[in-house]
Chains A and B, each alone.
Chain A
Amino acid sequence: MIVESRELRMKHRIPVVKTERFWKGLEEGKVFKTVCKCGKSYYPPRAECVCGATTEWAEVSGEGIVECFTVVHSIPAGYEWSKPYRIVIASFGDVKIMGWSNDELKVGDRVSLYTAKDESGVWKVWFKKV
């Protein structure tokens, strides 16, 4: 015998004030990292370096190299609208970037990045095989 609990719905409101440049960049077709004068680079970007200094925004461009990937067939809640999707991590110099790709990729492939919305309307990073 079981009891169905009372329903609880939660949808969080997440502040992205400190990383706004990144979020707007996606809509402009650009992907930004942050760099600090102490030599550290950040992706995901952050406005404050661990050293305490304020970081600067820098665009990521050029070709990356695929480090690992997977294709998700068992779709989680929140992605019901999606077909199986390919998640890729590629290195672009001093940062590694996670993104989606429609191309069949293997570790070591060279990729370029672009931004686009997914079917749920969320802007994100995508990779294209070079």
Chain B
Amino acid sequence: MKVGVVGVGCSKFGQRDVTIQELAFEAVSEALKDAQLSQEDIEMSVVGCVGTRGYELMPAVVVNEYCGFAGKGPIRVEAACATGSAAVYTAYSSIKAGIADIAIAIGVEKMSEVDTATSAAIGGRAGNYLWEFHFYGTTFPAYYAMHATAHMAKFGTTEKQMALVAVKAHRNAAKNPKAHFQKEITVEDVLKSRMITYPLKLYDCSPIGDGASAAILASEKAVKEHGFDPVWIESVGYSSDTSNMSMRESYVGLKATRMAAEMAYKGAKITEPLNSFDLATVHDCFTIAEIMAYEDLGFCKKGEGGKFIENGESDFGGKIPVNTFGGLKAKGHPLAATGVAMVYEVVKQLREEAGNLQVDLKHYRALTHNVGGTGHFCWVFILGR
């Protein structure tokens, strides 16, 4: 039983002056229109929302009601920054299991309702509260900054190479009307920006923002009945790792990514990842994360991620364009919206609807890579036409 993506929607990311349910409806209504479906056609609604920064403690309920899905579930899922991928996976699984023929995955997050210090504390509590935040004040940038110092020490990765990830992200986001940031930046801007958590500076970090995204998935049977022109989910890989950083094997990569990629590649019979995709959207919540993703996904050897960005291999015209939409770094990272938005972007590219951010298609196949926490969760989706 194949599962296809038949409709996608995405709100503008950024600091949004709307409630969580209003925000979700922006993406849902766009996805319904895209699939030429109405609420009555949807059998299962999955709402991804981390939710800890918003005033609604049971966001799935209000989101479902506002979107017209009361009575269609809802299931709320949470997997930190990979919550959106968990929502897509849950919708996919319900179709695979024969529970539904048409399901919607919604990712929505309002992060701007609390102040920055509170948001930093909530993020920091998302590792292992007692043994990390309580004692040591670990924040999310701190977790990735520790990976950065380990990567720099072991492989000579530089702050300039990390800055190049941000420069590429902003250059792409400037052409994306849905992106949080619409302004290009230089390496000097990144290096001179204020220190958040050594060695990560302000422009090495994705912003705190709001956003929503939605994807409508359909079974092969529903595709035939409705005459959809889908982008198929060819393979899914997922994995996880310890909550405590001190229990990890090393700090120069994410084991959860390597395992999820291995599972997804095996499912799609991919042996040469670099030569199998037209583009990839990878989890770049911090610039070092994208460099580690190149390596963990097998686009280059371990330790060569810095050179990969430096040589332009992840840019348009390079070996594999990565984060063509501006990435989490510049398009934005409203936690649960991210994973579904990755599917949105890839679907738009594979349908050749990405406008001035369109890549050349040869394989008609793309990859999404979404990490939750600091490698606490990971999902890799392979989509193709």
Task: List residues of A whose CB falls within 8 A of some B CB.
Answer: 5, 14, 16, 43-44, 67-80, 82, 85, 87, 89, 95-100, 106-108, 122, 124-125
Q: Which residue of B lies closest to A44 (CB)?
A: B131
- Contact A70:B146 (CB < 8 A) given known A76-B137, A78-B137, A98-B132: yes
Assembly CA distance A71 to B142 (angstroms): 8
- Contact A67:B251 (CB < 8 A) given known A14-B130, A77-B120, A98-B131: yes
- Contact A44:B139 (CB < 8 A) given known A67-B251, A68-B251, A73-B195: no
Q: Which residue of B lies closest to A3 (CB)?
A: B55
Q: Name the interface size band of chain B.
A: 35 or more
Task: List residues of B whose CB falls within 8 A of some A CB.
Answer: 55, 115-118, 120-121, 123-124, 128, 130-139, 141-142, 145-150, 152-154, 194-200, 244-248, 250-251
B144 to chain A, nearest CB (A): 9
Q: Which residue of B lies closest to A89 (CB)?
A: B246
Chain A residues lying within 8 Å of B245, measured Cβ to Cβ, are 89, 98
Contact B120 A69 (CB under 8 A): no
Q: Which residue of A lies closest to B249 (CB)?
A: A96
Contact B146 A69 (CB under 8 A): yes
Most buried by B among A70, A79, A85, A108: A70
* Chain B interface SS verdict (over half): helix
Q: Which residue of A lies closest to B124 (CB)?
A: A76
Chain A residues lying within 8 Å of B135, measured Cβ to Cβ, are 98, 122, 124-125
Contact A70 B198 (CB under 8 A): yes
Assembly CA distance A69 to B151 (angstroms): 11
Please provide the 8 A-B residue pairs with the shortest distance between their CB atoms, ordered closest to farther.
A107-B153, A70-B145, A76-B120, A76-B121, A68-B150, A77-B121, A68-B146, A71-B198
Q: Which residue of A lies closest to B152 (CB)?
A: A107
Contact A89 B131 (CB under 8 A): no
Contact of B137 among A5, A67, A72, A107 (CB under 8 A): A72
Contact B197 A99 (CB under 8 A): no
Assembly CA distance A108 to B153 (angstroms): 8
Task: Pull 9 A–B residue pairs with CB atoms less than 8 Å apart, ordered by A.
Answer: A44-B244, A44-B247, A68-B251, A70-B148, A72-B197, A76-B121, A87-B146, A89-B245, A98-B131
Most buried by B among A5, A67, A85: A67
Chain A residues lying within 8 Å of B250, measured Cβ to Cβ, are 67
Contact of A68 among B128, B149, B244 (CB under 8 A): B149
Contact A67 B142 (CB under 8 A): no
- Contact A89:B251 (CB < 8 A) given known A69-B149, A73-B195, A98-B132: yes
Assembly CA distance A125 to B132 (angstroms): 11
Contact A96 B132 (CB under 8 A): no
- Contact A89:B197 (CB < 8 A) given known A68-B251, A76-B137, A99-B136: no
Assembly CA distance A71 to B194 (angstroms): 13
Q: Which residue of B lies closest to A70 (CB)?
A: B145
Most buried by A among B118, B131, B199: B131
- Contact A74:B134 (CB < 8 A) given known A89-B245, A107-B150, A107-B153: no
A3 to chain B, nearest CB (A): 9
Assembly CA distance A125 to B134 (angstroms): 12
Assembly CA distance A82 to B146 (angstroms): 20
Contact of B139 among A67, A72, A98 (CB under 8 A): A72
B237 to chain A, nearest CB (A): 24
Contact B197 A70 (CB under 8 A): yes
Chain A residues lying within 8 Å of B142, measured Cβ to Cβ, are 70, 72, 87
Contact A96 B153 (CB under 8 A): no
Contact of A124 among B123, B136, B138 (CB under 8 A): B136
Chain A residues lying within 8 Å of B128, measured Cβ to Cβ, are 44
Q: Which residue of A lies closest to B137 (CB)?
A: A79
- Contact A107:B149 (CB < 8 A) given known A68-B251, A87-B136: yes
Assembly CA distance A122 to B136 (angstroms): 10
Q: Which residue of B lies closest to A87 (CB)?
A: B136
Chain A residues lying within 8 Å of B131, measured Cβ to Cβ, are 44, 98
Other than A77-B117, A80-B117, give 15 A-B pairs with Cβ distance below 8 A: A43-B246, A67-B150, A68-B147, A68-B251, A70-B197, A70-B200, A71-B198, A73-B196, A73-B197, A74-B139, A75-B120, A77-B118, A79-B121, A107-B153, A125-B135
Contact A87 B138 (CB under 8 A): yes
Chain B residues lying within 8 Å of A80, measured Cβ to Cβ, are 117
